[in-house]
Amino acid sequence: MLKFSKIILIIILFSITIQAKDYTKQKNTKAFINMMVQKYHFKRSYLNGLFKNIKFQRRALAIFNPAYRKKPKTTSIKHYPKHGSWDRYEKILLGEKRVKKGVEYMYKYRKIFKRVYRRFGVEPEYITAIIGVESYYGYNRGKFPVLDVLTTLAFERNRRMKYFQYELKHFLLLSKREKFNPKKVKGSYAGAIGLGQFMPSAYKAFAVDFNGDGKRSMQTTADAIAGVANYFKKSGWERGGHVAVRVSYKGNRFNAKKTGYKHKYSRVHLKGIVPKYGKWIYNKKVRLIKLDRYKYDELWYGAKNFFVITRYNHSSYYAMAIHQLAQKIKREYKKKYGSYLR
């Protein structure tokens, strides 16, 4: 049996870890509540009840405000080499286990993928890769209470307060529209929800009721697969189009042109940069995507579909990880089942 002093210590530590905060006393929260009542007809008593007992999310806030980060001990700081950022990135996202589970996922839900492909024209392996990276095929949808996270980030000082107020508004509207308790939803440290980790504002434009149950939910497999496909389609995905191809260039490090998904080039102006393995028939402008490896820079052409992937997450590395994971899943699927699902 624990001594009384130890019990008191545990209670104190627990209360520090999970700090409850009454946000209704804050000026910015009051203004937000007034806006939701006047513009969207929420009951003031309901919103006051939600914001009166919010669990302060320090871990989430620390990502957007350095002041809340713990100062690391100098002896524990890892030294990363100047180069090799892609080597480290791909090690996390492109392992054999993730590929294997992707093949299993695509096969298990093959009937849904076929129907989704017919309607939206997005290849199954790319949808699978998104869900594989975002939530590990549904196994890791996030453990943060979304209402608490979005409230903390919306009303505590950080570099993206306005954005999180916008997302909090859409989360409450979503809960009203889809009739769920906002206090019971778990998600990411930024408030993303479900298998595809949609932010609340994305639901109205992209979520799909594909299973016909009258709800648009990224928590159910059919709706999540269709939701990702719809996101890609509305962002300009070209059915059967090219995504990316590796190219060769002179030297080991590439600095001749600006790289990244924001910069487009006509291939005629990229002399000396050619597809590494055979021809690549694509006449539109391309992006140059540089992957920093330990000993050299790996260079790729990115097509329009590559840019579409960056609409899901604004990162060239993210889009390349999705592309490479999708291609690995497709190859292994063919090996195991003898045909390509489409």
DSSP 32-80: HHHHHHHHH---HHHHHHHHTSEE--HHHHHHH-GGGSPPPPGGGPPPP
> Cβ distance 153 to 60 under 8 Å?
yes
What DSSP assignment string belongs to 18-32?
S-EE-GGGSHHHHHH
Radius of gyration of the chain (CA): 23
Report the alpha-carbon distance of residue 197 to residue 190 in Å, rounded: 10
123 is catalytic: no
Distance (Å, rounded) from C-alpha 20 to C-alpha 148? 10
Catalytic pick from 96, 104, 123, 134? 134
On the 0-12 / 13-18 / 19+ scale of CB atoms within 10 A, 158 is buried
Catalytic sites, residue numbers: 134
